Amino acid sequence: MILLSCESQEPEPSNPMAFKFDSLVSESYELYYSVNPTTKITAYASGQELSYYWSATAGEIFGSGNQVTYSSNPGCCGGNQIVRCIVVDKNNGGLDKEVEIYVGF
């Protein structure tokens, strides 16, 4: 059986105000304290009056907003660390994403 449709093939216009958390991107996914101790991590999201909440399993996070600098803490914890970002939209709750960063010394 063949089904035919008369609906338009054009994509629906995207709503720039729709709440989306597209991606969480780190400049580097491997940090070695003596070589590259920090990396910038950026959250790409859209929505209304967004707030960005950051946390890490270990290490320091500097800055705020949609882009922060993450640094390994050489005195504390090596191995794989998780940096988490929660984006909260004014009307639509929150979405979260994580990046895993390897920390070596």
Q: Which residues bind other proteins (CB under 8 A)?
A: 33, 37-38, 51-56, 58-64, 68-69, 71, 73-77
Q: Which is nearer to other proteins, 17 or 94 (CB)?
A: 94
Q: Which is nearer to other proteins, 6 or 47 (CB)?
A: 47
Q: How far is the CB of 92 from other proteins (least distance, A)?
A: 17
Distance of alpha carbon 72 from its chain centroid, rounded?
Answer: 17
Query: Residue 35's closest CA among 62, 72, 67?
Result: 72
Q: How far is the CB of 95 from other proteins (least distance, A)?
A: 15
